[in-house]
Amino acid sequence: MMKEKQSPLKLVVGITLGITVLLVALVIVGNMDSESNESTVENHVPIDGQPVLGESEAPVKVVEFGDYKCPACKEWGESIFPQLTDEYVDTEKVAFSYVNVLFHGEESELAALAAESVYQQDPDGYWEFHKALFDEQPSGDHDSEWVTEEKILEVAEDVPNVDTDKLASDIENGAAMNEVNKDTELVNEFDIQLTPTIIVNDTVIEDPFDYEAIQTTIEEELEGNE
Ligand code: CA
């Protein structure tokens, strides 16, 4: 008789334990999900007409929205970009593009216009100019004016196939302004709020300095392409 009285209690305890275990499991799974906070955008960023580093037909496209006046972009270029290049761009798994963001006013615009003009003259030399211009960003007082036409021409002098006289007149005439405006349209379309913003296919990397998150997203996209 005692056994019969105890069993409903055991059943209740058993069910409670079961529910508790299930809830704990759900919380754990939920937390695992929230570990990758990456959000997605509706479409891939269209990169036609943009500078492309690596194999343009690579299965994964990584786009940086950056600003030559932005200190975090310089830091990203020095810390994360070389790893990304070694592991994925040089191995033809990723095509990398850079889109100009003009969050720091006239100097951002001048730098973007110059870079687009260099790209029009010498698509291969563009990346050399790109890096050399970021190298000129002062590490201390980056708010002080440093993007000047003089500085740009000095940087461009070292890029082999760039005619600096043509570059000077292209800058003065705003010859590549259409390209700068096209980038601004992308900034608006993809609602870019921070620089650098890194988008891998259609995934916006929450923390651009989290290289593992970038790796994970690229690997997932590569698997999806197999
Ligand atoms: Ca562009």
What confidence score (pLDDT) does residue 184 get? Answer: 98
Residues comprising the chain, all counted? 226
pLDDT tens digit sequence for 4-52: 445 666 665 666 666 655 555 555 444 444 446 789 998 899 999 999 9
What confidence score (pLDDT) does residue 191 get? Answer: 97
Angle subtended at Cα 32 by Cα 28 and Cα 34, rounded to the nearest 5 degrees: 115
Mean predicted confidence (pLDDT) in 129-137: 97
Q: Taking the CA of residue 142 as centre, how many other CA atoms within 13 Å lie in the half-sphere pointing to its CB?
A: 17
Residue 105: CB partners within 8 Å, gap ≥ 6? 69
Give the Å distance between the CA of 148 and the centre of ligand 1.
20
pTM of the model: 0.83
Give the Å distance between the CA of 75 and the centre of ligand 1.
20
Angle subtended at Cα 209 by Cα 66 and Cα 110, rounded to the nearest 5 degrees: 15
Whether 181 shows a pLDDT value over 50: the answer reads yes
What confidence score (pLDDT) does residue 21 get? Answer: 59
What confidence score (pLDDT) does residue 32 get? Answer: 47
Give the Å distance between the CA of 26 and the centre of ligand 1.
44
CA-CA distance, 214 to 26, in Å (whole number)?
26
pLDDT tens digit sequence for 205-216: 999 999 999 999
Say whether 148 sits in a helix, a strand or coil. coil
CA-CA distance, 84 to 219, in Å (whole number)?
12
Whether 105 shows a pLDDT value over 70: the answer reads yes
Give the Å distance between the CA of 47 and the centre of ligand 1.
8
Give the Å distance between the CA of 154 and the centre of ligand 1.
22
Is 27 or 155 the better-scoring residue by pLDDT? 155
Helices (H) and strands (E) in the chain, counts: 9, 6
Give the Å distance between the CA of 19 and the centre of ligand 1.
55
Give the Å distance between the CA of 68 and the centre of ligand 1.
13
